[in-house]
Structure 1
Amino acid sequence: MIPTPDLTHLRPEDYEHVYEPAEDTFILLDALEQDAEQLTSLKPSISLEIGSGSGCVSTFLASITGSSALLYLCTDINSHACKCSAATGRQNKVSLELVNASLAHPLLARLHKSVDIILFNPPYVPTVRDEASGAQNDRDIGGSWAGGQDGMQITDRFFSQVADLLSPRGRFYLVAVAQNNIPDIQRRMRENYALESKIVLQRRAGREHLSVILFTRSH
């Protein structure tokens, strides 16, 4: 079993502004560990996590892929989350490169079809549209969970970027809940972006039925 990254450097006051790792985080870690052999054989050169929060997930990925991944990129709209992610990398002797930005907007041209691993545990909780938009504008902890209509308002915005970022052999891991309509997500990604998918892990956590979906290019 691969140990969870050391997060003892983060304080309670950090978690007032940054999402604390929870069941949705851990199912993503477990999916990556489950795919460790494939991820290692991929020999990735670039990984990108959208909304890195505490930095736990990218740091965990680095413990699997090691130095074979030359660049661990993370974005977060929340500047405090960027600082926490960078600190988590340092605490675990991993160099995470942070970009304080919404989704992957500043990176699209430079990373065109060159990202081998994309990770996204999005704000998936269904809320009213204005709440999701307000949370993104506030650039604080609310942006880590408020997902708008069907919990897909922010995730849908990123889907149009995935096909431009993912390398020919790339793997995109997405956390979703049943309310997000996972079959529809899979259909749209296949029809609109020629990305095939499968559910690699499912788990019930309280009232949430969590899934991790893996997307790859059609060959």
Structure 2
Amino acid sequence: METPYQNHIAKADFDHVYEPAEDSFLLIDALERDLDFLKAKNPTFCLEVGSGSGVVITALGMALPNAFCISTDINFKACEMTKTTAKYNKVLMDSVNMDLAVSFVNNKFDVILFNPPYVVTETSECGTCDITASWAGGDKGREVTDRLLDMIPKKLAQDGIFYLLLIEENIPNEVVEIMAKFGYKSQLIVSRKLRNEQQLVMKFFK
């Protein structure tokens, strides 16, 4: 998979939107490892929740040109940046200013991606609409993630795939158990230690 061009983004823009970092590129690496599987699935609708700069969903759109990509972000400036990233890289995409995926119709998406705010923080730090929303995860760093997990059975197509980035502090085994109760199998796609943080990408499917 190609990494999208980001030359259109001014450094000052990242004062307001999460700048692509190791976690962003780890998620792209995971999608690349699973690309043959994804191409065989031939997805129609792909969603990234919390797209930030748009680098991940744009990379997926570049690799799957027949898919229509949609992104959401609670930060309006992130939605604007995602759309410009997609346009700059010639990817057909719409970006919606939305909390997670609450307003979408059920069983819509063949692929859902989420690089959540995973840093362990006080609960009071969650729920903002600015750049803080890109990293503040509350208790276990999972308060936002757990809200999306509850939505996945309704938003994901019956044979859809959900890719989720986590760190060890998020207690991934608990996430696997939650998704198993919803009827989903899990697979670890990639794991990498970056500085003092163990990051991993899980795939959930039926």
Tell me which residue corresponds to 1:214. 203
C-alpha distance in structure 1 between counterparts of 2:107 and 2:77, whole Å: 29
Tell me which residue corresponds to 1:198. 187
Per-residue deviation at 1:92?
A: 0.1
C-alpha distance in structure 2 between counterparts of 1:50 and 1:16, whole Å: 20
- The partner residue of 2:125 within 117, 127, 131 is 131
Per-residue deviation at 1:106?
A: 1.1
Identity level (%): 39
Per-residue deviation at 1:131?
A: 1.2
The answer (yes or no) to whether the contact 1:39–1:64 under 8 Å persists in 2 is no
Check if 1:140 corresponds to 2:130.
yes
Tell me which residue corresponds to 1:55. 54
The answer (yes or no) to whether the contact 1:200–1:212 under 8 Å persists in 2 is yes
Tell me which residue corresponds to 1:10. 9
TM-score by length of 2: 0.98
C-alpha distance in structure 2 between counterparts of 1:4 and 1:189, whole Å: 30
- The partner residue of 2:76 within 76, 79, 84 is 79
Tell me which residue corresponds to 1:41. 40
Tell me which residue corresponds to 1:153. 143
The answer (yes or no) to whether the contact 1:49–1:73 under 8 Å persists in 2 is yes
The answer (yes or no) to whether the contact 2:118–2:142 under 8 Å persists in 1 is yes
| Other structure's SS at 1:118 match | strand
Number of residue-to-residue matches in the alignment: 206
Tell me which residue corresponds to 2:108. 114
| Other structure's SS at 1:106 match | coil
| Other structure's SS at 2:70 match | strand
Check if 1:101 corresponds to 2:98.
yes
C-alpha distance in structure 1 between counterparts of 2:118 and 2:135, whole Å: 6
C-alpha distance in structure 1 between counterparts of 2:96 and 2:196, whole Å: 33
Q: Which runs of 5+ in 1 are unaligned?
A: none
CA RMSD of aligned residues (A): 0.8
The answer (yes or no) to whether the contact 2:61–2:92 under 8 Å persists in 1 is no
Q: Which runs of 5+ in 2 are unaligned?
A: none
| Other structure's SS at 1:20 match | coil
Per-residue deviation at 1:3?
A: 2.2
Per-residue deviation at 1:50?
A: 0.2
C-alpha distance in structure 1 between counterparts of 2:107 and 2:184, whole Å: 13
Cα deviation 1:128-175 (Å, max 9, x = unaligned) = 11112xxx23x1111000000000010011111101011122110000
**Amino acid in structure 2 at the alignment position of 1:23:** E
Tell me which residue corresponds to 1:65. 64
Check if 1:90 corresponds to 2:79.
no
Per-residue deviation at 1:114?
A: 2.5
Check if 1:175 corresponds to 2:165.
yes
Which 4+ stretches in 1 moved above 3 angstroms?
Answer: none
The answer (yes or no) to whether the contact 1:197–1:213 under 8 Å persists in 2 is yes
Tell me which residue corresponds to 1:27. 26
**Amino acid in structure 1 at the alignment position of 2:89:** N
Per-residue deviation at 1:95?
A: 1.7
